[in-house]
Amino acid sequence: MRIVLAPAQATENSYATGGTNEAEQCSRIAEAAARNLRFAGHEARVLYGSFAAKASESDAWGADAYIPCHTNAGGGHGPEVLIHPLAQGNVLVQSVYDALVANSPYAGRGIKVRTDLAEIMLPQALTIYVEAEFHDNPQDAQWIIDHAEDIGRAIAQGVVNHAGGSLPGGGAHGVATQPDPAPDAPPVSGNTYVVRPGDTLSGIAASAGVSLGELQGWNPELFDARHHGGDLIWSGEVVRLGSGSVETHTVVPGDTLSGIAARNGTTWQELARINNITTPDLIYPGQTIRLR
């Protein structure tokens, strides 16, 4: 199956403990779910950006399921799943919900129909909107922080229980250990920046003290149709902060060696040679490719 994970990007939704927020923890959940799904033989992408851009990218990719990853507030305990009216009775929805409840220390709050949320109404794919526990009380907030990767694995387990495959052991909390871009990856050099979960191009520009127009001039490929004019970027992508050349590229979902080569004025054969890649068709998200 093709699965899109869409983590919440609400940095303003602070947790009741831990000095963190919904965006940070939901990025951890989504990235863990994607890692486990890939290990189980499914295709998975983690998308960041506006609701419309993420839905459009999901539709263009032909996703089978679109899974927004959120944590809850407003008083309460336990996970719940929100769905489109047409998804009532769907067995994949039930499977993901059951896996979340099995992972939770609390009883589930049910599967609920919502028609007022853009993330449910915009995508063409089946949407399984996960509200994984409550972050507005210290006990549950700390549980989410301690078990974010377990929640991601539970989401993947729900898909696998329905669609087939098996999850690997190993790694912290039994999470798959295939390399992925680290959420706290630093800039790779003085004039480049590696995109982290929750980043936006406008935010990167502001932090670097440059205009969005300057950023576009240095990174035209990040403003193309694939990136919805700059509304959609992936963790692990490299952003130039000046006119200097980039010496490495971090692979993101959808990349090919020939595509990376074409964007950087070289050939896939040369990239394969200098990176000791024996199978050019096999590169993975998070892999670092030398360009020179």
Residues in CB range of 11: below 8 A, 6 or more apart: 21, 22, 23, 24, 198
Q: Which residue shows structure tokens 């944590």?
A: 71
Residues in CB range of 284: below 8 A, 6 or more apart: 38, 178, 179, 251
Predicted TM-score (pTM) above 0.85: no
Per-residue model confidence as pLDDT tens digits over 199-243? 788 888 888 878 888 888 888 888 887 677 777 777 677 888 876
Question: Alpha-carbon distance 76 to 133, whole Å?
Answer: 8
The pLDDT value given to residue 287: 79
Q: Which residue shows structure tokens 């902060």?
A: 241
Domains annotated for the chain, with CATH where assigned, are 2-174 (3.40.630.40), 192-290 (3.10.350.10)
The pLDDT value given to residue 194: 78
Of 61, 78, 88, 77, residue with least CA distance to 4: 61
Per-residue confidence of the chain (292 residues) as pLDDT tens digits? 899 999 998 889 999 999 999 999 999 999 989 988 988 888 999 998 888 989 999 999 899 999 999 999 998 999 999 999 999 999 999 999 999 999 999 999 999 999 999 999 999 999 999 999 999 999 999 999 999 989 999 999 999 999 877 776 533 333 343 334 333 434 444 578 877 766 788 888 888 878 888 888 888 888 887 677 777 777 677 888 876 655 777 777 667 888 888 877 788 888 888 887 877 777 777 778 887 6
Question: Alpha-carbon distance 131 to 172, whole Å?
Answer: 23
Q: Which residue shows structure tokens 């409840």?
A: 101
Planar angle of CA 212, 288, 69, nearest 5 degrees: 65
The pLDDT value given to residue 245: 58
The pLDDT value given to residue 187: 44
